[in-house]
Amino acid sequence: MLDWSFVVNECLKYGINIVGTSAERAISSSWSKGEWANYHYHSEVGHVINLNPHINRIEVARVISETQGIKVAPDEVYYWLWFHEIGHATQKHFRNWKNAQMDYHFKKKGTSEDVARLYRKGEKAADRYANKRFLEWKAEGKMCRFAAAKKQPAA
């Protein structure tokens, strides 16, 4: 999935408190189809990133490559997803969207379209951030050790 030292460095750099493989709503709930990863902020535990361990990496790599216009290999999928979720954790869009949701549901302020618009804006921003970080990471010659190991000729 992800290199452990990569994850630890990123967590320290971006203040991520918990990394896991749980679906968003509850520890026991299962991932819904098409849900690849999630980010949320808990007032008590802080920033949380979860990666869905059940995705089809070949299929997800194809979708990301097509929609983002960059080449993401199946072994690199979790890195791109990680950068996308870090994009949510480090940008104001996620907070704006959550605030709009709260206003809409609890204070009857705004519209569901406002919430949806902010959601799309946040997703686009996280995608842009992910593409930028992913390409920087690739330029540094980083790749999943699993992929690197496979390319080694047998000794």
Q: At 111, list the tokens.
A: 């519209």
Closest distance to Zn ion from the beta carbon of 153 (Å): 39
Would you say how long the chain is, in residues?
A: 155
Enumerate residues 64-103 that contact Zn ion by CB under 5 A: none
Q: Cα–Cα distance between 122 and 87 in angstroms, integer?
A: 9
Of 128 and 138, nearer to Zn ion (C-beta) is: 128
Distances (CA, A) of 32 to 25, 42, 122, 151: 10, 21, 20, 34
Of 3 and 123, nearer to Zn ion (C-beta) is: 123
CA 65, 71, 77, 83: dihedral to nearest 10 degrees? -90
Residue with tokens 């609890």: 106
Q: Which of 16, 48, 77, 126 binds Zn ion (CB under 5 A)?
A: 126
φ, ψ (nearest 5 deg) of residue 16? -85, 125
Closest distance to Zn ion from the beta carbon of 126 (Å): 5
Q: Cα–Cα distance between 148 and 150 in angstroms, integer?
A: 5
Of 61 and 126, nearer to Zn ion (C-beta) is: 126
Closest distance to Zn ion from the beta carbon of 43 (Å): 20
Closest distance to Zn ion from the beta carbon of 87 (Å): 7
Instruction: Point out which span in 16-24, 61-69, 117-125, 133-141 binds Zn ion (CB under 5 A).
Output: 117-125
48 binds Zn ion (CB under 5 A): no
Binding interface with Zn ion (CB under 5 A): 123, 126
